[in-house]
A and B are shown apart, each in its own frame.
Chain A
Amino acid sequence: ERIFHIRDHSDVLIPASHQAELIIDKGSAQQFLLKYGFMRPGSWEESQSDTALVPAAASTAPFDMTPLIQEGDSGSRAGKESASKDPAENPTFISALRDFQEVSGLRVTGVLDDATKAAMNKPRCGVPDKALDSNVTATANATDTRLNQTLFISTTAAGATRGLDSTHSRDGPTGSLGPER
């Protein structure tokens, strides 16, 4: 039990603003799939041809930001706009959902059912489950200052993914992670 000092526990109650938004509909599910790597940023834009920006989740994730991604927040705004078109019909969304259901040990239906929502709402780590596509590797040689550390890491994470779990593998790093600028 969290330690409280006031009889009504008001000092440990978490204000609503500090509650994570639950995943209850397809739009938030789509954000989840994008954030954790089950959907690639590019594929999602292609199906929304009039948006050129990547959604915030992808751009602000500490592990898969590429220098080509400009402003993270605008992406999330774009994400909401795209929600107006029903992702349920989006084949990419459905296949990503099936992928998530498969790795989570759920029945693979491609439908955002309650069990899938519950799995998405579990407490979890913020690192993506899947490495994103390999052109992130090309950015590995960005300058190595702490601010750019995420760039270096995501590539390597991709490399690490590859060596250990073939179901998530993508093609390997294109070599030379050395000190080139």
Chain B
Amino acid sequence: RKRFLETLLLRKRRRRDLTGAGQVGFSKKVLKWRLMGEGYSSQLSIDEQRYVFKLAFRMWSEVCPVEFEEDLTSPLFEIDVRLGFGTGRHLGCAQSFDGAGREFAHAWFLGDIHFDDDEHFTAPSGGNGISLLKVAVHEIGHVLGLPHIYRGGSIMQPSYVPQDSAFEIDWMDRKAIQQLYGGCKGRFNTVFDWVRKERTPYGELVIRFNTYFIRDSWYWLYENRSNRTRYGDPIALQVGWHGIPSDGVDAYVHVWDWRTDAAYFFKGTQYWRYDSENDQVYTQDSEGQRYPRLISEGFPGIPSPINTAFYNRRDSRIYFFKDLHVYSFDVRTNKKVNGFPMRITDVFPAVVPGDHPIGNLDVAYFSYTHNSIFFLKGSHFWKVVSSQDRRQNPSLPYNGVLPRKDIDSHWFDICNVHMSTLKM
């Protein structure tokens, strides 16, 4: 009891320490925030205010490895960020607000945020006035450690820039916050390019694909052109992929040749066929097969559960990975290829000795963007030597595995958000 105060201080101090990137900032991965009861705005409903702050915190979570959770019950000293509205002298703050106009908010690094309730704040869908969401995102940037940045397009510009359309945290701001907290890392369950046929307004049939990353029960659409995930992702799996297991899958395989166009999701001992036209799993496909089906029935000779799998269009085979081995399945003969299973290190040899995922892969992904196969495991990926690589360097082994790199140095900003904000 005698050292109580000391433990109190110690606990708080541990919260403010070095970030994963070795900078001074929050060392905690999940921060608690609360809109203070005595600091509600008189202009918006309480739910609106809480929703705007929830969204603002989520927007930062989408671009850096820090999650935010609204906490209405813990003791106050456990709350990392306290928000409140006030006018003039407010909330015991040392800096008074100046009334309507000029200063509309201020924030403390690793601490609180105050908003000047004399300003005309509006909710995201509101008309004129100062967007509370935009100001909140700006002030949270300060709380996390960002200073003012005089750059057009930065959310950290000191003066308010009216926004004619929805705003997002741009590339440079993302890099700025990741300089403080590092990039987003984590394992993926599967990564795939979803190919589908669409008709243009002129009725032309075109084939499009999008890249998806799945981690547990949520997924991101990755915009290769913009080198980032889609704004607003991640989304809950069952929201976007109807009928597949909502807690995640092991693999996705798209068998696509001149005869077959079938997409499958694998999980445990079962697999589902996905109807890309109607965006849901088949309960029964055109050949009368009912789903889910046992993997052993649909792919005789292939064990389950599997780690991952991909379809190789070059030889019309599906490669299933489990533990240290790889199984090859010929979809034309619907049989396991003789000679398999083989060791992954034998079928896909390391180009640099010792630099190889060995086994227990998270993902084997064929990317149409890069026209290459990638093996993902933990926070690293290994690219498999492509035909283009071999044209440039014939000495590379066929299906060789190139040295590993960080996933987040290739696919950017695939960041978790707190579960409580997943369904926003």
Residue of A nearest to B87 (CB): A18
| Cα separation A3 to B126 with both chains bound (whole Å) | 11
| Cα separation A19 to B103 with both chains bound (whole Å) | 11
Any chain A CB within 8 A of the CB of B133? no
* Whole-angstrom distance between the Cβ of A173 and the nearest chain B Cβ: 8
| Cα separation A2 to B227 with both chains bound (whole Å) | 40
| Cα separation A91 to B176 with both chains bound (whole Å) | 34
Interface centre among B13, B43, B88, B150, by most chain A C-beta atoms within 10 angstroms, is B150
Per-residue interface assignment for chain B, residues 80 to 123, with 1 indicating a CB less than 8 Å from any chain A CB and 0 otherwise: 00000001100001111111111111111111000000111000
Number of B residues contacting the other chain (C-beta, 8 Å)? 52
B24 and A177 contacting across the interface, CB-CB below 8 Å = yes
Q: A122-B159, A157-B147, A177-B24 are in contact. Are A149 and B102 (CB under 8 A)?
A: no
> Which of B108, B128, B148 is close to A150, meaning CB atoms less than 8 Å apart?
B108
> Which of B130, B139, B145, B150 is close to A103, meaning CB atoms less than 8 Å apart?
B150
> Which of A72, A105, A123, A152 is close to B102, meaning CB atoms less than 8 Å apart?
A123
Within B1-46, the residues touching A (CB, 8 Å) are: 9, 12-13, 16, 23-25, 43
Interface centre among A104, A122, A164, by most chain B C-beta atoms within 10 angstroms, is A164
Residue of A nearest to B121 (CB): A2
> Which of B100, B104, B149 is close to A164, meaning CB atoms less than 8 Å apart?
B149
Contacts of B142 in A (CB 8 A): 125, 127, 157
| Cα separation A103 to B156 with both chains bound (whole Å) | 13
A60 and B24 contacting across the interface, CB-CB below 8 Å = no
B110 and A127 contacting across the interface, CB-CB below 8 Å = no
Q: A63-B108, A119-B159, A127-B106 are in contact. Are A19 and B95 (CB under 8 A)?
A: no
Within A134-175, the residues touching B (CB, 8 Å) are: 144-146, 149-150, 152-154, 156-157, 159-161, 163-165, 168
Any chain B CB within 8 A of the CB of A45? no
A-B pair count, CB < 8 Å, reads 152
| Cα separation A130 to B93 with both chains bound (whole Å) | 21
* Whole-angstrom distance between the Cβ of B311 and the nearest chain A Cβ: 44
Contacts of B95 in A (CB 8 A): 60-62, 126
A18 and B139 contacting across the interface, CB-CB below 8 Å = no
* Whole-angstrom distance between the Cβ of A156 and the nearest chain B Cβ: 5
Contacts of A160 in B (CB 8 A): 23-24, 109, 145-147, 180
B101 and A163 contacting across the interface, CB-CB below 8 Å = no
Interface size class of A (residues with CB under 8 A): 35 or more
B139 and A164 contacting across the interface, CB-CB below 8 Å = no
| Cα separation A177 to B24 with both chains bound (whole Å) | 9
Q: Which 9 A-B pairs have the closest CB atoms?
A: A126-B106, A153-B109, A20-B98, A20-B101, A20-B102, A18-B99, A161-B147, A122-B159, A123-B160
In the complex, 29 of the A-B residue pairs with CB atoms within 8 angstroms, ordered by the A residue number, are: A2-B129, A14-B99, A17-B99, A18-B87, A22-B101, A60-B94, A62-B106, A65-B94, A72-B94, A104-B150, A105-B150, A121-B101, A122-B159, A125-B104, A125-B106, A125-B107, A125-B142, A125-B159, A129-B148, A129-B150, A149-B110, A149-B111, A150-B108, A152-B16, A152-B109, A157-B109, A159-B24, A160-B145, A177-B24
